[in-house]
Structure 1
């Protein structure tokens, strides 16, 4: 069994170093995760460039992460070594009013895995067991890093009350936009209109099932959306 690991440490904005460290050991209620994949989002970019407020360097980045349970500490139940998991990156206090009513995502004292606490840009990470959630083995761990973003998209569409047959216009077809497009199609919205300045992103939106793909750089893009939505 490995006793050491390598970790990418951001010593200062735009300055990464690879550091050899001892492999962590799980304490009571904790798990050790062997990191499989970490997605990079705009928050990570802002931390890397030094534009994110309040970051204390050095920091180990990475918060959209999946992995495999390497070992578990005393008292951990419902999860076992070898299990595929995704990490919940919202580090909660557990005692504010939001946490006490089960709304930890609204914790008044929340921190972020990969910002206030060391993140997943290392071979192993030590976490409280409550922050890991099992995944089906058939789901590729690299693809599963998108679950956090997908959950945000799904939550917004549920709050919107999107119904079958309604018109949806998604402006911008980056990762989040493409997920909005795909979920709207699966919700049987019609038409689902993808809007972007980038041709290859519009092509991807069409592959995701968008009924119409409109190039925003065109002079009559707004007129076309208006025509399609009646």
Structure 2
């Protein structure tokens, strides 16, 4: 079968590899494999992996060989939970498999699904309705991480929520906040096109970073946002998120921040008694919720920018790195 392989840092190739043997697991024929910032970091070497490594952790497809004694028959449409966990440690037993110290991620710590086929333990599969459009289905794993991130957060019903960064995940977070009852959702990004999209998808307003503090102050009587979701993953945007939050507010740190975030305003954290929350990956229980949202009011299809055949993976990777794009996926 053909697969997108990282041969060494900075070197990718689409080439023939052996089709995986199920070995008691389910064999899934991959229909879409999304690309994201994690894949770009793996390719560049910023996230080190053992090579050669098949990329791909945002996956939807169909079961072609059911797992031994499994519940999913041949032809069942599924989304893959890419988390790898031991299932035995105290963290896993506490229902936190995504934080397993001995765990990992397919496409990073073991071969992924940017390929024709993938073997997956059946407990990592979730049924997807056949009538859910392919563009929306391709974003289910991403949506599950957003659902997981917002689960512990109290959304200010009728209040003001802010999303810093309006890429794919920022656009999803903005929609989720509105659906959960936030009175005003304000998006923040430099991109005019992404601001316009956020407003079409229901944001109260979307503004450039230079205007964000003034707009949020005006909307909140000078106080600041009740909840701010940081989705861009830089020290500068986390700093902005903390400035935008009001006294006693919550900052949800969804973006992946660099280890040395020297520009983070820790005094604001203290002065306003901010609550900072981290978010990583998703739990199995987040996937059914994500699927229900995708099949209902959430609008995911407008967030998919382009679909490339696997043999044009290099073009897809370049598009993924283009900040004007949203979600880019492969059709293996």
TM over 0.5: yes
Aligned twin of 2:12: 16
1:108, distance to aligned residue in structure 2 (A)? 1.8
1:33 aligns with 2:28: yes
1:226 partnered with 2:217:
yes
Give yes or no for the alignment of 1:107 onto 2:100: yes
Q: After superposition, what is the alpha-carbon deviation per residue over 1:11-40, rounded to whole angstroms, capped at 9, x for unaligned?
A: 112222232234333222x11000011111
2:170 aligned residue:
177
In the alignment, is the contact (CA less than 8 A) between 2:80 and 2:141 conserved in 1? no
**What SS does the aligned partner of 1:164 have?**
coil
Unmatched segments (≥5 aa) in structure 2: 222-332
Runs of 4 or more above 6 Å deviation: none
Pick aligned residue for 1:57 from 39, 46, 51: 51
2:150 is equivalent to residue 157 of structure 1: yes
Aligned partner of 1:93 in structure 2 is 86
C-alpha contact (below 8 Å) 2:86/2:92 kept by paired residues:
yes
Contact between 1:36 and 1:142, CA under 8 Å: does it hold in 2?
A: no
Whole-angstrom CA distance in 1 between matches of 2:65 and 2:98: 26
CA distance in 2, matches of 1:229, 1:11: 52
How far off is 1:90 after superposition? 0.5
Count of residue pairs brought into register by the alignment: 221
Tell me the C-alpha RMSD between the 2 structures: 1.6
Deviation at 1:73, TM superposition (A): 3.6
CA distance, structure 1, for counterparts of residue 74 and residue 152 of structure 2:
37
CA distance in 2, matches of 1:211, 1:119: 38
Unaligned 5+ runs, structure 1: none
Tell me the distance in 2 between the aligned counterparts of 1:127 and 1:100.
21
Q: TM-score, normalised by structure 2?
A: 0.63
How far is 1:145 from its partner?
Answer: 2.9
Contact map agreement 1:196 1:216 (CA 8 A) in 2: yes
2:183 is equivalent to residue 187 of structure 1: no
- Measure, in 2, the Cα distance between the counterparts of 1:198 and 1:13: 30
Residue 10 of structure 1 contacts residue 17 of structure 1 at CA under 8 Å; is this kept in 2? yes
1:191 touches 1:229 (CA, 8 Å); kept in 2?
no
Rounded to whole Å, the distance in 2 between the matches of 1:153 and 1:166 is 20
Does the Cα contact within 8 Å between 2:67 and 2:121 map onto a contact in 1?
Answer: no
The superposition leaves residues 49-88 of structure 1 with CA deviations (integer Å, 9 ceiling, x where unpaired) of 11113x1111101001111111124222x11110110111
Matched, 1:119 2:112: yes
1:197–1:59 distance in 2 versus 1, CA, 3 Å: same
Q: TM-score, normalised by structure 1?
A: 0.90
